């Protein structure tokens, strides 16, 4: 069976998007497909697969499978790409609508900007208690200003939940950090029972950060929307920057605004890379339909 897909990216954070609104999706082994198709230089290559589906509680729903096959709770850049996808194809008749994620509903707003699409996502609120992140320790204690033993030394971190668990480290020079070594050590640190995303953050100016990310389930990525948001929130709380914040990542810039009402907005350009189709290996197909069309787009 052939599977149609669209490759999209936001600040270089690229996923394979599969439409379950306009067409029936096969009952496939999506974790295995994500591992297979995400391999760079050997397959399509991506940070994972995102399914765009009908929702009972919002206008649309997304499911995210990371490059290692694990299912994610939220992806800030991914949900913005979902917004651009359904809007460009006329699956919804307004420019502001909701997308259901495992971490809660996200409101996205699509705006054409200089021939491109800028998409703003009203993110789920940051949570700082260890029981919510989750993080070991007393559930009602904050994960901010924590100390972790990594590689034989104590490392100061800010831990929080923002769609996913996040571990934020402030550094002098983000490009001098050995992300490939420290990233997996922190991702799988015993303090994080569900693993965590890791952000290495350099303060570039009063309104700008430089950030590199090790993503839970995907490794080093060009950008991470929830990671950019987590970095900005922690930098604002520490008084190192003021909102709105420009977050410079290897794949491009994102804009994060945390207003006085503590509404957290993530904004940036979204681009379609290409469309294609591929044959799903028979061993990854199961009997029946995985999802059917019929979204609630208004």
Catalytic residue numbers read: 75, 224
228: nearest Cα among 74, 21, 49 = 74
Residue with token string 């900007």: 113
Cis, peptide link before residue 244, omega less than 30° from 0: yes
Beta strands in the chain (DSSP E): 2-10, 13-19, 25-28, 48-53, 60-66, 71-72, 96-101, 104-113, 116-122, 146-150, 153-162, 164-170, 197-205, 208-215, 219-221, 245-249, 252-258, 264-279, 285-291
| C-beta of residue 184 within 8 angstroms of C-beta of residue 191 | no
101: nearest Cα among 168, 147, 51 = 51
* CA–CA gap between residue 174 and residue 196 (Å, rounded): 19
> Which DSSP string do the residues of 127-173 spell out, in sequence order?
B-BTTTTT-SS-TTSB-TTEEEEETTEEEEEEEEEESEEEEEEE-S-
79: nearest Cα among 229, 196, 275, 197 = 229
């Amino acid at each position: 069976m052939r599977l149609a897909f669209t490759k999209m990216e936001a600040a270089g954070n690229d996923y394979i998007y599969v439409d379950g609104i306009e067409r029936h999706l096969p009952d496939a082994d999506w974790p295995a497909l994500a591992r297979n198709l995400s391999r760079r230089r050997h397959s399509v290559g991506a940070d994972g697969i995102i399914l765009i589906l009908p929702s009972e509680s919002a206008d649309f729903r997304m499911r995210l499978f990371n490059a290692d096959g694990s299912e994610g709770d939220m992806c800030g850049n991914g949900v913005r790409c979902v917004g651009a996808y359904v809007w460009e194809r006329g699956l919804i008749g307004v420019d502001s609508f909701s997308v259901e994620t495992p971490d809660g509903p996200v409101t996205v707003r699509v705006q054409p900007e200089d021939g491109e699409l800028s998409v703003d996502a009203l993110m789920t609120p940051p949570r700082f208690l260890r029981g919510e992140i989750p993080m070991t320790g007393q559930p009602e204690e904050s994960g901010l200003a924590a100390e972790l033993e990594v590689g034989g030394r104590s490392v100061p971190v800010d831990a929080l939940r923002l769609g996913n668990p996040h571990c934020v480290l402030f550094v002098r020079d983000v490009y001098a950090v050995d992300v490939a070594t420290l990233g997996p050590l922190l991702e799988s640190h015993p303090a994080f029972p569900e693993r965590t995303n890791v952000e290495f953050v350099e303060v570039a100016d009063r309104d700008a950060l430089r950030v590199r990310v090790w993503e839970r389930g995907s490794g080093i990525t060009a950008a991470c929307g929830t990671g950019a948001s987590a970095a900005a929130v922690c930098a604002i709380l520490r008084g190192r920057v003021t909102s709105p914040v420009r977050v410079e990542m290897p794949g491009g810039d994102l804009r994060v605004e945390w207003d006085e009402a503590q509404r957290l907005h993530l904004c940036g350009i979204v681009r379609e890379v290409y469309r294609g189709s591929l044959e799903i290996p028979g061993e990854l197909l199961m009997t029946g339909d995985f999802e059917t069309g019929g979204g609630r787009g208004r």
